[in-house]
Structure 1
Amino acid sequence: MSTTLCELLRARAEAEPDREAMTVSGVGTLTFAEWQRRSDAVAAGLLGRGVARGERIGLVFGNADWLEYAVAFFGVLKAGAVAVPLSDRLSRADTDAMFGHCGATLVLRPGELPTAEGEPAPPGAGDLAQILYTSGTTGRPKGVAATHGNLAHGWGGRRRPFAHSRHLAHAFPIGTNAGQWMLANAIGAHPAVVTLGRFTPGRFARMIEQYRAGTVFLVPTMAIELLAAGAHTRSDLSSVLLLGSAAAPLPGKVAAELTTAFPKATIANYYTSTEAAPAQTVMLYDAQRPSSVGRPASGGAVKVATADGEPVPAHTTGEVWMRSPTATRSYYGDDAASETVFRGGWVRMGDLGYLDEDGYLYLVDRESDVIKSGAHKVSTLHVEEAVYQHPDVVEAAAFGVPHSALGKAVAVAVVGTVDHADLRTFLKDRLAPHELPHHLLTLDALPRNHGGKVDKRALREVVL
């Protein structure tokens, strides 16, 4: 096993210099030799500018810039500095706040990479490598710091993942944990990674067909858009043998529909967080357990416990904890928050859930999303699963809004042609009275953050 991704890139470049590592559809291709040579030049350029080890370097790139971003990211790491990747879709105020928080001394953008001659000294496994900012859907974004050893854990073995594929297709944005996972896949997995500058269902499906991708990764919202647009009926997706969903829970109805859209694919739901990676659970779609997010993988562990970490019995709702198989991450510059979330190798996920008798994990809700309505606690995930069952609902999001008598009441935003009165009747047999929505609204699209997650704070503002 390699101790750093930098070492793994060097090994791939030496063994397979002309092999395709990454492609952006319609933009270009990066081989391992080019990746190694160009990132060495960036590292030397940074060192020539006086960049010191441990210095934080901001990276602001768009999805069409994946190739240059890959070069910049490894140039920063090879220089011994710390990469702080952000999407170029963030506002200037958000970008300035995040770079101000971590003390970034330099920001690199497309076309602005310094280069020079030289071969930098490699970083160590215990050195800080990356700071990723969380999406901030439940509060102020936090910078999650990871070492080189954390990023490289599990990579570099004799067997490379996804060996059934020549290409692995994804559309994850830069600056997200899922996007960084794809960057690692480009170095450590068997297939070349292919992506596109801007996701649309039709473009994504055509890319899969063009490259005959055997492995595909997306987020649930992309799956929903692809199905709603019927893109799977206009492109040949028969090459896909593994379809992975990450970054958010995959509704059971959507998972079932994906088995039809991708007839040869195994549907896998991956559950982790920016804080917990590389720990994760994986669930291969099972009609008997359509809403489970699976069991631990990658050498980690999961438990459902009290706030103090004491495990609770099967089928008892509690806090979800994950144990990292390697050195855990931490919140950069926030020891108090780190002590709350990272405990003895375990990470509090911020989710409520339960384990069944076979160890399969089921999520009940984000702790911050649970609606306390009168004397009841309502799971927004449970409400959403019921709403999704209506055939005219394309997408749904449940959230709490203020109520004069109950404290909070359930609101549901839907995308689709469903009639509100019909939906209320439909839900009466599927939800308890306190779970039924007090407010229903139809939108053309649900508001999302740059990582593709539904922004429920923005939804509350629509209702209020």
Structure 2
Amino acid sequence: MTLPELLAARAVADPDGVAMIVDGVGELAYRDWDARANAVANRLIGQGITGGDRVGLVFPASGWIEYAVAFLGVLRAGAVAVPLSDRLPAAEIGQLSAHCSMAAIVRDAAGSDVTPPPVVVRAGDPAQILYTSGTTGAAKGVTATHANLAYGLRAEPRYRAFRHSKHLVHAFPIGTNAGQMMLVNALGAHPAVVTLPRFTPGRFAGLIRKYRAGTVFVVPAMAIELINAGVEPLESVLLLGSAAAPLPSAVASELGGLFPQAMITNYYTSTEAAPAQTIMLFDPERPGSVGRPAAGGGVRVTAADGSPVGVGETGEVWMRSPAAPRAYFGDPRSGVFRDGWVRMGDLGYLDDEGYLYLVDRESDVVKSGAYKISTLKIEEALHAHPLVKEAAAFGVPHPVLGTVVVAALVVRDAVAPEEVRAFLGERLAGHEVPARLLTLETLPRNRGGKVDKRALRALS
């Protein structure tokens, strides 16, 4: 089943059912979504858009409903949707447009002819190009087929995910991989998907209370903000999912108090690997694990030459799912994709029960003197300090050692660097303790909510 087919089926089975709610903006029912997507598709076809053409989508954070309509309209026209943030500079939008040879850019969901367009969309056709956040280099366009986006979805109600919930709340940005998964949930899951134009911890908590949401998705930065804001416990939530980055175990423990009825769950995937993922229900016995493969997928850890490493040995993390794999636009034979497996760009290891532990991003490992130092391990230790709200570790050049570790902190109250180092000295080896500590008001982040370590290096 493709996403356009699934939308048509939901519009017939549940025409007045609410698919999506944007707080303070409006809501979208399946019948309206279906009809308006047809109108967008017919408008595009009338403008000369044909199968396989790339169409950019540029919408503001408050425009989730219009974006959802336009996205399905592009797919119904047989074209390829290219979601872009409206916060991108015009020059960057131009660069991405040129990179994938966009035929048009859509900024609204206008259209009048709601007749289903006479276009046949096949499961193997390209449907989406999603540009990565580019924290370690130039952004790359990741192409997904219709089969990839709709993997595992069924029209029958008994197969809909999150049936314990009437409402699912999130605050992921338009055009991110996590945001796209929420768009898919609005089509294929049981609850109405609820979001808000701009995340603040108070508004987000209020949204959860207003709808008595049973399912909530956040990124770790949002979870930390909710904890630090002193939000009262949110007892309606039965599933709290964290995505986009590893969830520090100290943060997961505190989330248990904020969401006392919820399973705290960490999802590990990437724009390149989706829908392959590992899922971890927080377990104090396995702090730091991101879980085991889900939904028939697989994970392996290899040496640089591709040969498998033993249990507990660190190597390159690869993932796969039974879904049609993704690929880089213009670079289909990239070494990131190999025989259905996707290289995650992370170093990690597997324990004897198949649980995956991440050691670090390959690009973030600090090589200092004779040592290779994991910034994730340092961040995990820093998050355990009672006065540390957020932390990020990164490497900077050093004339003798080559590179040394610096840590940037956001703190709850003033704390002496010597105290932090003494705290870390009880948890880390001497060479792992940061050579320098920076205290910042906030950590710089990219549009996907991940800490921008290139920006931190520039600040140091």
TM superposition score normalised by structure 2:
0.97
CA distance in 1, matches of 2:399, 2:370: 14
Amino acid corresponding to residue 292 of structure 2 in structure 1: R
CA distance in 2, matches of 1:358, 1:183: 33
Q: Is 1:427 the counterpart of 2:430 in the alignment? A: no
CA distance in 2, matches of 1:52, 1:308: 42
Match of 1:124 in 2: 122
Q: Is the 8 A contact 1:20 1:31 kept in 2?
A: yes
CA distance in 1, matches of 2:253, 2:93: 38
Residue 113 (structure 1) shift: 3.4
Q: Is the 8 A contact 1:43 1:75 kept in 2?
A: yes
1:32 to 12, 30, 33: 30
CA distance in 2, matches of 1:324, 1:431: 36
CA distance in 2, matches of 1:53, 1:46: 11
* 1:163-312 pair list within 5 angstroms: 163-231=163-231, 233=232, 237-312=234-309
CA distance in 1, matches of 2:60, 2:290: 30
1:325 to 312, 322, 340: 322
- Deviation by residue 1:30-78 (Cα, 9 ceiling, x = unmatched): 0000000000000001001110110000001122100000000000000
Aligned residue pairs: how many? 455
SS at match of 1:64: coil
SS at match of 2:293: strand
Q: Is 1:389 the counterpart of 2:392 in the alignment? A: no
Match of 2:58 in 1: 60
SS at match of 2:224: helix
CA distance in 2, matches of 1:54, 1:391: 53
Runs of at least 5 residues in structure 1 that lack an aligned partner in the other structure: none
Extract structure 1 runs of 4+ deviating beyond 6 A.
Answer: none
Residue 116 (structure 1) shift: 3.1
Q: Is the 8 A contact 1:278 1:298 kept in 2?
A: no
Match of 1:18 in 2: 16
218-227 vs 116-125, greater mean Cα deviation: 116-125
CA distance in 1, matches of 2:380, 2:423: 13
CA distance in 2, matches of 1:263, 1:117: 46
Residue 115 (structure 1) shift: 4.2
CA distance in 2, matches of 1:319, 1:261: 35
Amino acid corresponding to residue 282 of structure 1 in structure 2: I
SS at match of 2:270: coil
- Deviation by residue 1:377-396 (Cα, 9 ceiling, x = unmatched): 00000010111111000000
Residue 118 (structure 1) shift: 3.0
CA distance in 2, matches of 1:117, 1:293: 45
Match of 2:73 in 1: 75
Amino acid corresponding to residue 343 of structure 2 in structure 1: R
Amino acid corresponding to residue 454 of structure 2 in structure 1: R
Match of 1:351 in 2: 346
CA distance in 1, matches of 2:28, 2:368: 53
137-146 vs 82-91, greater mean Cα deviation: 82-91
CA distance in 2, matches of 1:115, 1:136: 38
CA distance in 1, matches of 2:4, 2:276: 21
SS at match of 2:335: helix
SS at match of 1:14: helix
2:136 to 135, 138, 145: 138
Amino acid corresponding to residue 261 of structure 1 in structure 2: L
Amino acid corresponding to residue 31 of structure 2 in structure 1: A
Amino acid corresponding to residue 419 of structure 1 in structure 2: A
SS at match of 1:162: coil
Residue 159 (structure 1) shift: 1.7
Amino acid corresponding to residue 28 of structure 1 in structure 2: G
Q: Is the 8 A contact 2:280 2:290 kept in 1?
A: yes
Q: Is the 8 A contact 2:36 2:111 kept in 1?
A: no
Amino-acid identity (%)? 64
Residue 114 (structure 1) shift: 4.3
Match of 2:407 in 1: 412
Q: Is the 8 A contact 1:396 1:413 kept in 2?
A: yes
Amino acid corresponding to residue 242 of structure 2 in structure 1: S
Q: Is the 8 A contact 1:45 1:117 kept in 2?
A: no
Amino acid corresponding to residue 178 of structure 2 in structure 1: A
CA distance in 1, matches of 2:271, 2:77: 24
Runs of at least 5 residues in structure 2 that lack an aligned partner in the other structure: none
Residue 217 (structure 1) shift: 0.2
CA distance in 1, matches of 2:59, 2:322: 30
Distance 1:100 1:113, change over 3 A: farther
Q: Is the 8 A contact 2:39 2:110 kept in 1?
A: no
Q: Is 1:313 the counterpart of 2:316 in the alignment? A: no
Distance 1:115 1:142, change over 3 A: farther
CA distance in 2, matches of 1:371, 1:196: 38
Amino acid corresponding to residue 263 of structure 1 in structure 2: P
Q: Is the 8 A contact 1:380 1:399 kept in 2?
A: yes
Residue 273 (structure 1) shift: 0.3
Residue 326 (structure 1) shift: 1.3
Match of 1:362 in 2: 357
Residue 253 (structure 1) shift: 0.3
TM-align CA RMSD: 1.1
Match of 1:403 in 2: 398
Q: Is the 8 A contact 1:6 1:122 kept in 2?
A: no
Amino acid corresponding to residue 79 of structure 2 in structure 1: A
SS at match of 1:441: strand
Q: Is the 8 A contact 1:43 1:115 kept in 2?
A: no
Q: Is 1:339 the counterpart of 2:337 in the alignment? A: no
* 1:363-382 pair list within 5 angstroms: 363-382=358-377
TM superposition score normalised by structure 1:
0.96
